[in-house]
Amino acid sequence: MGVKECRAMLAAAFGNSASSYHKGRSILHSIFAYGLRQEWCDRNPVDAIEAPRVKEKPIEPLTPEEVGRLERAAERPEHRDMQLSLKLMLYCGIRPTEVTRIDPQRDIVGDELIIRPNTSKTGGGRVVPLRKVATYIKQHRGALTIPDRWEQRWRALRRAARFRSWRPDICRHTFATYHARHFRNLPALQLEMGHTTPRLLHSRYLSPIGQSAARRFWNM
């Protein structure tokens, strides 16, 4: 398969979205890169296909009022098993897929949460301060759980908090936005998010918000 065929394949499968095209190109490039290592081909034709520039759309964080709705819904008896999950996503920036892989009894050490390589979405480990989650953990140390049927439980909690629509990873965006505004320490935030460079923080996560909103978030 040559450059022309690869370009036509990408256009047919991913031509409607620059973001999807970019991801498709990365996948196809990885396939040919593997073929090169196995000596099944002598070049990677995808190298000649320019990756489209993807303009990241800003994602607004949850407001303190919306965070409060989630917190109050999680206090109801039927949703209390989601309290730890919610707090880790909101106040530690943990991805939903990572939450489902956490073992609270093993991975919570003192006032820190250890995200191990086999837990992380990207395969890299990191250590995240628990901050305001630490008090909750100390109060419930013997009963910290990540419930089964997690995705179903998470949808039920959002419905209970009166969210009719939901943006993927919005809790992580919320954490990053309020962290940057309140603590004003991007190197620390980069480490806690597990990013190798600060580029993604600037392009996707740092929505402008007021200092008062950030203070309310961290002092709720």
pLDDT band at 106 (very low <50, low <70, confident <90, very high): very high
The predicted-structure confidence for 39-48, as pLDDT tens digits, reads as follows 888 899 999 9
With cut-offs at 50, 70 and 90, classify the pLDDT of residue 202. Answer: low
Give the integer Cα–Cα distance in Å for 66 and 72.
Answer: 10
123-173 residue pLDDT tens: 788 999 999 999 999 999 888 999 999 999 999 999 999 999 999 889 999
Does the CA dihedral 161-162-167-168 come out positive or negative? positive
Q: How far apart are CA 164 and CA 33, in angstroms?
A: 43
Alpha helices in 100-169 (DSSP H): 104-107, 133-139, 150-160
Q: Which pLDDT does position 57 carry in this prediction?
A: 64
Cβ-in-10-Å burial (0-12, 13-18, 19+) of 57 comes to exposed
Task: Please state, in angstroms and rounded to a whole number, the distance separating the CA atoms of residues 157 and 73.
Answer: 7
pTM for the structure as a whole:
0.74
If one compares 122 and 68, the residue with the highest pLDDT of the two is 68
50: which 2 tokens? 């320019």
Specify the amino acid at residue 20: S
**Structural tokens at position 79:** 């949703």
pLDDT at 22: 81
Residue 220: per-residue pLDDT: 80
Q: What's the token pair of residue 2?
A: 């040559």
pLDDT at residue number 76: 97
- Sheet arrangement for strand 126-129: 108-109, 112-115, 126-129
User: Region 198-217: what's the mean pLDDT?
Assistant: 78
Q: How far apart are alpha carbons 156 and 151 in whole angstroms?
A: 9
Q: In terms of Cα–Cα distance, which of 24, 85, 86, 80 is closest to 49?
A: 24
Query: Residue 136, exposed/middle/buried by CB under 10 A (0-12, 13-18, 19+)?
Result: middle
Write out the E strands in the chain.
108-109, 112-115, 126-129
User: Residue 83: which residues within 8 A CB-CB, separation 6 or more?
Assistant: 74, 75, 136, 140
